[in-house]
């Protein structure tokens, strides 16, 4: 048998004989599983979109330069006065999710035609292929400017580019010219991919242009249909000696990994491959063969259509094998595909999970249906009781007016003939009743108390010896008789009302118990307010949860911060203040966040400082205390705070913003005052409003859990209503301040909220991990209550329907807050190996 000879690598590569080149390692390529999940639209991606949008609309607001000046280490971009590390931003951005607005695309078209150095109106023949020129009606011309949209779409005979904007078509075509080396150089971290002696102004303009081409090309490429190659088909890529050493080292490290434990390499630049075999005279130093390629075929609009170019956006790649022969590097690689959608064919594991989930869901749904049926029954009973109570309340009104009139008439007649000393007891009761006349008229729930006092008054009158010469004696006797009649009916009415209220309390207790059972019943069904995740929000695979929990779905823990006994306090601050419009007379000073209209539901007053904000801050108090107790440099001071003190903190938080009359902050209010626009600092006035309401309400509504015994003690606490003042000392002020500041992510942008994050880390002894857990939890509260977010993570607008419900119904809001799992204060230590 003749001896087999090993083919020369260079010849095998040029012939496209991949099987001969990589036969020994090709199986490894098939063994690497392709992970899947959503594509994250991260902060760096959004920031890049904003920079490109600004370049194309207001270019002077963006400045790009290399920093530091002498020996540059990165590219710096300044946007609206804020400096960013562009090199790091491009490294972290995921260009597979970039999304450019329509108006920006139109700006790009004008930019390319009028200002751009590459692809502009002076560009020579963009399409060199005769067939392309014939399609566009430009055959025989020596020079072709940028084709019109109509002309370039004629090239798309298969309609693969129908979804692309004209701007995206232009950008893709520009990339496929020789300019691709500049764009990829920027994406891979080269600080100067332009001419060696480029000056500062030229560097700024060229870099701005390059970023626009990168963004628009990626935006278009993401819409081009993916082209899975037939089994056994390979694609080729060639890199010259300018490939950075760090990139080469990373590829080699990936190739040297043990099978089954691949190192995924983020390819920052476009990955351009060709389906054509390399030419015989091709002498590239780095040669890569791709298997399992699913790219985008842009050949139809490419500058070099003959190459059958397959283009992949910046993506993740696993390098499976590496050889070096005669100073040439050969790689076998495959892309790691991140699917936007779940694969159509489910794995066996997923099928088993679906079966389990269906059975579990059926059982849970049956249990919940029964509980909901019982809840509906109690609800109907409550409605009937409410109707009965309403009718009786109307009757109490008639009896109230009659009793008050009769008592006044009787006392007037007695006073005319009996000395005051002899009427002292009757006069005392009389004053108790008539002194609160308006109150009894407006408070039907106090009817039983009025009947009791009226009975006492009548009993005392009967003990008095009535003068025989009493004028209008018959009228006096008639009054007594009428009063007796109203008292008898009133007592029966009061007893009936008392019975109804007892039944109402019992039904409410049943409803609360049923609600808790429903909340505690784990269900695979989505929550009523489970809205679609924000674009790019990581979605956890349920089968992973199922495996991690040994077959049991995780459940949200028991409420740990529900405000015990505070329902009446919450109802008061909402009905009396938070549901009311701001002061119209102050709208001229600040009309921001005045109200929010929700279609089909109604209007939310003071949405930025309303019920949802107040309850989130109040609920945060005990958790902030736990974190400070664990991480603060003065942790022993926080350990000394007892449960009663924390409840008082929560109570104070309920009243913190009720005195607001518009959205002014202290500094702006002080400026208006100093300029003479207002007679007082309005912000200080708002705090005074809150203090007065707190004192008035608390002194008349004693709560044993809060237990403020005196006005003096309460006044010591009401200073904490101004806990936003950084100069207010003490642990209680700090807890309230942090809870309030965490919620600022709803109205502070990323730049403003950075100060809050920095302060939080300092308050937690510099523990960044603990601060992050707390911040992510607050972000979860924002999502759960439908609030907008501006300062942490991805920005998002209001979820109108959910935010409306959480802003107008405290029970819904608390339930939503409680649905967010409590973060671990301390992470469990890792087990030692």
Which domain CATH number covers 234?
3.90.176.10
Residue 819's nearest CA partner among 481, 530, 448, 498 is: 530
pLDDT per position as a tens digit, 676-713? 888 888 888 888 899 888 888 888 877 777 777 777 77
Task: Name the more confident of 369 and 536.
Answer: 369
Whether 556 and 520 have beta carbons less than 8 Å apart is answered as no
Q: How far apart are CA 425 and CA 98, in angstroms?
A: 83
Range with the lowest mean pLDDT among 343-347, 445-449, 612-616? 343-347
Task: Give the pLDDT confidence score for residue 560 in this predicted structure.
Answer: 33
How many CB atoms sit inside 10 A of residue 831's CB? 5
Distance CA 317, CA 271 (A): 10
- Domain boundary among the residues 195, 226, 257 is at 226
CATH code at position 775: 1.10.3210
360: number of Cβ within 10 Å: 17
Lowest mean pLDDT of 17-26, 115-124, 439-448, name the range.
17-26
Which of 202-206, 543-547, 596-600, 771-775 bottoms out in mean pLDDT, i.e. has the lowest? Answer: 543-547
Q: Which residues contact 298 (CB under 8 A, 6 or more apart)?
A: 172, 176, 221, 224, 309, 310, 311
**Euclidean distance between CA atoms 21 and 330, whole angstroms:** 9
Q: Are 784 and 492 in contact (CB under 8 A)?
A: no
Bridge partners (DSSP) listed for residue 321:
332
DSSP 103-134: HHHHHHHHHHHHT-SSSSTT---S---HHHHH
CA 239 – CA 283 distance, rounded (Å)? 10
54 and 170 in a common domain: yes
Of residues 475, 197, 169, the one with CA closest to residue 296: 169
pLDDT at 143 > cutoff 50? no
Distance between CA atoms of 360 and 362, rounded to whole angstroms? 5
- Angle at Cα 303 formed by Cα 297 and Cα 307, nearest 5°? 55
Mapped onto helix, strand or coil, the DSSP state of residue 200 is helix
Half-sphere exposure of 163 (CA within 13 A, CB side): 8
Closest CA to 277 of 570, 655, 13, 611: 13
Angle at 774 between CA 806 and CA 36, to 5 degrees: 85
> Is the domain of 108 the same as that of 175?
yes
DSSP 27-86: HHHHHS-----PPP--HHHHHHHHHHHHHHH-GGGEEEEEESSSS--EEEEEETTEEEEH
Residue 103 lies in a domain: yes
Residue 376 lies in a domain: yes
Q: What is the pLDDT of residue 763?
A: 93
Work out the pLDDT band at 344, boundaries 50, 70, 90: very low
> Of 209, 226, 243, which residue is a domain's last?
226
Residue 590 included in any domain: no
51 & 200 share domain:
yes
Lowest-pLDDT choice from 131-140, 444-453, 540-549, 741-750: 540-549
Q: Does residue 776 form part of some domain?
A: yes
pLDDT at res. 227? 72
Q: What is the pLDDT of residue 10?
A: 52
Q: How confident is the model at residue 539 (pLDDT cuts 50, 70, 90)?
A: very low
Tens digits of per-residue pLDDT, 293-311?
777 878 777 766 555 667 7
What pLDDT, on a 0 to 100 scale, did the predictor assign at position 396? 84
State the average pLDDT over residues 410-430.
Answer: 83
Tokens (6 digits) for 790: 């501006």
Last residue in a domain, options 303, 336, 369: 336
Shared domain check, 771 and 730: yes
The pLDDT score that the predictor gives to residue 368 is: 74
Please say if the pLDDT value at position 619 is more than 80.
Answer: yes
Per-residue model confidence (pLDDT) at position 36: 41
222: phi then psi, degrees, rounded to nearest 5: -65, -15
Highest mean pLDDT among 3-7, 244-248, 747-751: 747-751
User: Token pair of 760, please?
Assistant: 């939080």
What integer pLDDT is reported at residue 372 of this predicted model?
77
Polymer length in residues for the chain? 833
Read off the tokens for 785. 């209550």
Verify that 507 and 422 share a domain, yes or no.
yes
Q: Does the pLDDT value for residue 338 go beyond 70?
A: no
Tell which wins on pLDDT, 281 or 191.
Answer: 191
Is the backbone of residue 676 left (phi > 0), alpha (psi -120 to 50) or beta? left
Range of the domain at 260: 9-37+227-336
Query: In the numeric block, which tokens belong to residue 813?
Result: 């809001």
Indicate if 159 and 131 belong to the same structural domain. Answer: yes
- Asked if residue 635 has pLDDT above 80, the reply is yes
Q: What is the pLDDT of residues 474-498, one digit of tens each?
A: 788 888 889 889 889 988 888 888 8
Return the DSSP state at 638. H
Whether the predicted pLDDT of 557 surpasses 70: no
In a domain, 570, yes or no: no
Residues 329 and 438 in one domain: no
pTM: 0.40
Contacts of 588 (CB under 8 A, 6+ apart): none
> For 150-179, how does the pLDDT look when each residue is reduced to its tens digit (9 = 90+)?
878 887 888 888 889 999 988 888 887 767
Looking at per-residue pLDDT, the higher value among 358 and 755 belongs to: 755
- The confidence band for 207, taking pLDDT boundaries of 50, 70 and 90, is very high
Tell whether 496 and 625 lie within a shared domain: no
In the block, residue with structure tokens 């020369």: 8
Q: Is the pLDDT of residue 738 over 90?
A: yes
What angle in degrees, to the nearest 10, is found between the helix axes of 200-221 and 166-175? 110
Structure tokens at 696: 């008035």
525 within a domain of the structure (yes/no): no
Q: How many domains does the chain have?
A: 4
CA distances, 299 to each of 129, 237, 337, 417, 805 (Å): 11, 15, 22, 114, 53
- Side-chain-facing half-sphere of 470: CA atoms under 13 Å: 18
In a domain, 575, yes or no: no
Tell me how far apart the alpha carbons of residues 143 and 680 are, in angstroms, rounded to a whole number.
73
Q: Picking from 135-139, 260-264, 777-781, which range would have the lowest pLDDT averaged per residue?
A: 135-139
Same-domain pairing of 117 and 136 = yes
Mean of all residue pLDDT scores within the chain: 76
pLDDT at 127: 45
- Residue 8 backbone class (left: φ over 0; alpha: ψ -120 to 50; beta: rest): beta
Clarify whether residues 695 and 757 are in a common domain.
yes
Residues 50 and 27 in one domain: no
Please tell me the predicted confidence (pLDDT) of residue 50: 94
Contact 234, 18 (CB under 8 A): yes
Written as six digits, the tokens of 651 are 């109570």
Specify the pLDDT at position 93.
Answer: 84
At residue 559, the pLDDT reads 33
Digit-coded pLDDT (tens) for 374-416: 878 887 887 788 788 778 877 888 888 888 899 888 888 888 7
- pLDDT score recorded for residue 535: 30
Closest by CA to 129, choosing from 87, 176, 88, is: 176
Nearest of 673, 669, 685 to residue 722 by alpha carbon: 685
CA distance 673 to 589: 11
Q: Residues with Cβ < 8 Å from 254, sequence gap 6 or more?
A: 262, 263, 264, 265, 317, 318, 319
Pairing state between β 286-290 and 328-336: parallel
Q: Is 540's pLDDT higher than 60?
A: no
Sign, CA dihedral 630-635-637-639, equals positive
Label residue 419 by pLDDT band (50, 70, 90). confident
506 and 359 assigned to the same domain: yes
Return the CA Rg of the chain: 38
pLDDT digits (tens, 9 = 90+) for 8-36: 545 555 544 544 454 444 444 444 444 34
Share of the chain above pLDDT 90, in %: 17
**For residue 245, pLDDT beyond 70:** yes
For residue 615, the model assigns a pLDDT of 94
Q: Domain for residue 573, yes or no? A: no
- Report, as an integer, the average pLDDT of 215-237: 79
Sheet of 328-336: strand order equals: 226-228, 294-297, 309-312, 271-274, 235-239, 286-290, 328-336, 315-325, 264-267
Q: What is the pLDDT of residues 40-68, one digit of tens each?
A: 567 888 899 999 999 999 999 999 998 87
How far apart (Å, rounded) are the C-alpha atoms in residues 114 and 221?
Answer: 24
């Amino acid at each position: 048998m003749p001896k087999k000879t090993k083919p020369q690598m260079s010849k095998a590569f040029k012939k496209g004989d991949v099987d001969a080149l990589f036969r020994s390692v090709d199986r490894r390529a098939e063994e690497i599983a392709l992970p899947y999940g959503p594509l994250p639209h991260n902060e760096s991606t959004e920031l890049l979109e904003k920079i490109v949008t600004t370049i194309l609309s207001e270019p002077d607001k963006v400045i790009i330069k290399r920093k530091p000046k002498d020996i540059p280490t990165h590219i710096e971009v300044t946007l609206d006065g804020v400096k960013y590390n562009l090199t790091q931003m491009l490294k972290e951005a995921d260009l597979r999710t970039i999304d450019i607005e329509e108006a920006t695309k139109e700006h790009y078209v004008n930019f390319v035609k009028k200002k751009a150095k590459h692809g502009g109106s002076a560009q020579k023949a963009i399409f060199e292929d005769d067939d392309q020129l014939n399609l566009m009606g430009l055959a025989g011309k020596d020079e072709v400017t940028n084709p019109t949209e109509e002309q370039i779409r004629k090239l798309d005979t298969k309609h693969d580019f129908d979804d692309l904007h004209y701007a995206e078509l232009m950008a893709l075509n520009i990339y496929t010219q020789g300019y691709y080396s500049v764009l990829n150089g920027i994406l891979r971290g080269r600080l100067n991919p332009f001419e060696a002696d480029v000056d500062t102004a030229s560097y700024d303009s060229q870099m701005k242009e390059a970023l626009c081409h990168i963004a628009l090309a990626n935006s278009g490429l993401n819409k081009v249909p993916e082209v899975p190659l037939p089994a056994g088909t390979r694609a080729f890529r060639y890199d010259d000696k300018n490939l950075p050493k760090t990139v080469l080292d990373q590829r080699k490290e990936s190739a040297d990994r043990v099978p089954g434990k691949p190192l995924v390499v983020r390819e920052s630049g476009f990955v351009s491959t060709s389906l054509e075999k390399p030419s015989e005279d091709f002498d590239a130093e780095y040669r890569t063969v791709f298997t399992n390629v699913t790219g985008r075929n842009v050949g139809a609009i490419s500058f070099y259509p003959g190459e059958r170019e397959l283009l992949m956006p910046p993506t993740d790649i696993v390098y499976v094998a590496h050889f070096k022969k005669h100073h040439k590097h050969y790689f076998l690689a495959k892309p790691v595909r991140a699917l936007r959608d779940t694969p159509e064919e489910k794995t066996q594991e997923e099928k088993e999970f679906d079966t389990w989930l269906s059975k579990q869901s059926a059982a849970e749904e049956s249990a919940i249906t029964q509980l909901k049926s019982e809840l509906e029954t109690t609800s109907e009973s409550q409605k009937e009781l409410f109707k009965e109570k309403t009718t009786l309340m109307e009757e109490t009104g008639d009896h109230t007016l009659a009793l008050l009139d009769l008592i006044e008439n009787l006392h007037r007649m007695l006073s005319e003939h009996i000395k005051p000393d002899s009427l002292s007891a009757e006069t005392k009761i009389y004053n108790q009743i008539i002194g609160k006349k308006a109150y009894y008229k407006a408070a039907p729930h106090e009817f039983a108390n009025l009947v009791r006092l009226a009975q006492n008054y009548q009993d005392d009158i009967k003990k008095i010896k009535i003068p025989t010469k009493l004028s209008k004696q018959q009228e006096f006797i008639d009054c007594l008789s009428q009063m007796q009649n109203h008292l008898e009916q009133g007592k029966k009415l009061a007893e009936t009302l008392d019975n109804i209220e007892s039944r109402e309390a019992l039904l409410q207790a049943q409803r609360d118990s049923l609600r808790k059972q429903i909340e505690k019943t784990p269900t695979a069904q989505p929550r009523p307010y489970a809205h679609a995740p924000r674009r790019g929000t990581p979605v956890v695979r349920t089968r992973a949860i199922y495996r991690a929990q040994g077959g049991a779905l995780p459940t949200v823990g028991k409420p740990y911060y529900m405000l015990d006994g505070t329902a009446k306090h919450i109802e008061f601050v909402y009905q009396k203040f938070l549901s009311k419009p701001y002061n119209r007379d102050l709208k001229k000073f600040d009309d921001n966040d005045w109200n929010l209209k929700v279609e089909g539901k109604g209007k939310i007053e003071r949405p930025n400082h309303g019920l949802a904000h107040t309850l989130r801050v109040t609920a945060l108090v005990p958790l902030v205390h736990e974190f400070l107790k664990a991480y603060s440099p003065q942790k022993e001071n926080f350990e000394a705070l007892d449960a009663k003190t924390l409840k008082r903190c929560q109570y104070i938080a309920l009243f913190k913003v009720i005195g607001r009359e518009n959205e002014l902050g202290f500094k702006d209010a002080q400026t208006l005052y100093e300029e003479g626009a207002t007679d007082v600092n309005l912000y200080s006035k708002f705090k005074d409003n809150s203090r007065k309401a707190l004192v008035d309400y608390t002194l008349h509504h004693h709560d044993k859990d809060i237990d403020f015994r005196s006005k003096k003690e309460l006044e010591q606490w009401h200073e904490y209503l101004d806990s936003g003042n950084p100069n207010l000392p003490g642990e209680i002020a700090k807890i309230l301040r942090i809870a309030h500041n965490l919620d600022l992510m709803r109205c502070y942008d990323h730049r403003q909220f950075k100060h809050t994050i920095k302060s939080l880390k300092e308050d937690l002894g510099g523990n960044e991990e603990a601060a992050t857990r707390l911040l992510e939890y607050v972000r979860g509260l924002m999502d759960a209550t439908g609030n907008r977010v501006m300062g942490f993570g991805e920005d998002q607008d209001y979820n109108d329907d959910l935010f409306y419900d959480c802003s107008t119904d405290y029970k819904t809001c608390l339930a939503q807050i409680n649905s967010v799992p409590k973060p671990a204060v301390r992470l469990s230590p890792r087990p030692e190996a």
